[in-house]
Chains A and B, each alone.
Chain A
Amino acid sequence: MQDLWEAFAAAGALVWSLDRDLVAIVTRSLTITLTALAVSALISLPLGAALALFRFPGRTVIVVALNAFMGLPPVVVGLFVYLLLSRAGPLGTLGLLFTPTAMVIAQVLLITPIVAALTQQTIHDLWQEYRDQLRSFGAGPGRAIPTLLWEGRFSLLTALLAGFGRASAEVGAVMIVGGNIDHVTRVMTTAIALETSRGNLALALGLGLILIALSTGIAGTAYVLTDMARRRGA
């Protein structure tokens, strides 16, 4: 028990002193996760909206697959990206394995089904409400997509937060494709795993506390901003 309290105290000291290694790892983690989230948003928001509004052969299969892929095991995704990017793989010539870019790719694959499936549900519900009015104005499904994405911005923010949470907490995929290389691909989750195995519980705990604080802070900020906008009636 005493070890645990000592570890907490040491973690607090590390955070308080803004330890250089700690700051570098946190910055790298945020950069990779937010980049993955941005790329995924560019794919999954229009994809989810299109699946909600358009009817075409194979649509049901895609929707079912997206819902199923929401629970993709990160290590399997990591392995898949590893095979793609390894020297013998189809994209091996790009030399991306064990780089932050490879980690972004893995995280995009992990969170796109989550954000797309939640977007599809949100836009489907909105389309039921707005369909007749938008069609009356002369807007078909294609023109309705940007409108409904904007109308559903608060719900979609929650979908993006779910994606952020999944990406920031994930360790298996980024460990496989990033390699956990110090000062290059080491992020909070891989560092926590490494430091725990080394017995450096203070740093591991410090990183864990920061990870929780960041997730809570981002979700809290999003909630407050959304609530303020809703109160204004926006």
Chain B
Amino acid sequence: MNGPVPAILPLTLQGVSYAAGGKPRIKAVSVTLAAGPRSIILGPNGAGKTLLIMLCHGLVGPTEGVIAWGHAGVTDPRWHQAMVFQRPVMLRRSVAANVDYALQLRAVPRAERQERIQEVLSRTGLHRFADAPARVLSFGEQQRVALARAWALRPQVLFLDEPTASLDPTATRAVEDIINAIHETGTKIVMSTHDLGQAHRLADEILFLHRGRLQEQTSAEVFFRRPATQEAAHFLEGRLPSQLKRVGS
């Protein structure tokens, strides 16, 4: 190894906008994500949560504004991040080979790869599936493989885009436990969800997004007790979109 990896956080977005087909999807978002707290991007469907996460992770570029990682010494911040998607993308190979593939791309030496594979599969309860083809696993198990694969990269920041959106409560619980375990190893969690219960369980910090605009960035405790915006208050009350629209007008 070449010594300790420089910290890439904080992540700063300044006036970041994104438009597609002439339609603004993300509107002038300015936010700083610091190391430490689990940041949950909360908002209704279509608020722009996935897009904001993809912008942060560098999978799409902003049409306006600047996205900057904190440490000037990091040559490629992408190498110190990982992302788990709403639908797990499994390669047509075994569970262990799926994890190994990601490590190969990050140029992790072979001996260390084996160690990391054993470790993450054990910690995610997937060791008995190590040699099983990843695509035959259940959706929840595949999502755990996706988390194990991301964890093996030892990212400083892990982005998660609604990772439990299609899971039952038991699988959701397993995924949330893994997310917490990853967080405990020092990885910054940035996750999107529209599930208020999940936000309650996981969030240290809430970023509330509504129609592409960041309405609030505050501690979870404050957000759930005293939301600062009307949109957030209505979202917490569970009002349906048509009701929200009427209220807005």
B82 within 8 A of A: yes
Q: Identify the closest chain A residue to B149 (Cβ).
A: A137
Question: Most chain-A CB neighbours within 10 Å: which of B82, B92, B134?
Answer: B92
Residues of A within 8 Å of B59, CB to CB, are: 132, 135-136
Decide: A233 near B135, CB < 8 A? Known: A132-B54, A137-B106.
yes
Residues of B within 8 Å of A234, CB to CB, are: 92-93, 133
B34 within 8 A of A: no
Residues of A within 8 Å of B222, CB to CB, are: none
A133 within 8 A of B: yes
B66 within 8 A of A: no
Decide: A147 near B91, CB < 8 A? Known: A137-B105, A138-B106, A232-B133.
yes
The 8 Å CB contact of A151, one of B54, B91, B105, is B91
Once the chains are docked, how many angstroms separate the CA of A186 from the CA of B130? 52
B183 within 8 A of A: no
- Nearest Cβ in chain A — how far from B130, in angstroms? 14
Q: Is A133's CB under 8 angstroms from B93's CB?
A: no
List B90-114 residues whose CB lies under 8 Å from chain A. 91-93, 101-102, 105-106
Main secondary structure of the interface of B (DSSP, over half): mixed
Q: Identify the closest chain B residue to A144 (Cβ).
A: B105
The 8 Å CB contact of A133, one of B79, B89, B92, B135, is B89
B57 within 8 A of A: yes
Interface string of B199-237 (1 = CB under 8 A from A): 000000000000000000000000000000000000000
Main secondary structure of the interface of A (DSSP, over half): helix
Question: Most chain-B CB neighbours within 10 Å: which of A129, A136, A139?
Answer: A136
Q: Is A233's CB under 8 angstroms from B136's CB?
A: yes
Residues of B within 8 Å of A139, CB to CB, are: 105
Q: Is B92's CB under 8 angstroms from A151's CB?
A: yes
A143 within 8 A of B: yes
Once the chains are docked, how many angstroms separate the CA of A200 from the CA of B8? 79
List A216-234 residues whose CB lies under 8 Å from chain B. 232-234
Binding site for B on A (CB under 8 A): 129-130, 132-133, 135-139, 143, 147, 150-151, 153, 232-234
13 further A-B pairs in the complex, CB-CB below 8 A; given A133-B85, A147-B91, A234-B133: A129-B89, A132-B85, A133-B89, A135-B59, A136-B57, A136-B59, A136-B83, A137-B101, A137-B105, A138-B106, A143-B105, A150-B92, A234-B93
Binding site for A on B (CB under 8 A): 54, 57, 59, 78-79, 81-83, 85, 89, 91-93, 101-102, 105-106, 132-136
Q: Can you give 15 A-B contacts (C-beta < 8 A)? A: A130-B89, A132-B59, A132-B83, A132-B89, A133-B85, A133-B89, A135-B59, A136-B57, A136-B82, A137-B102, A138-B78, A138-B79, A147-B101, A233-B132, A233-B135
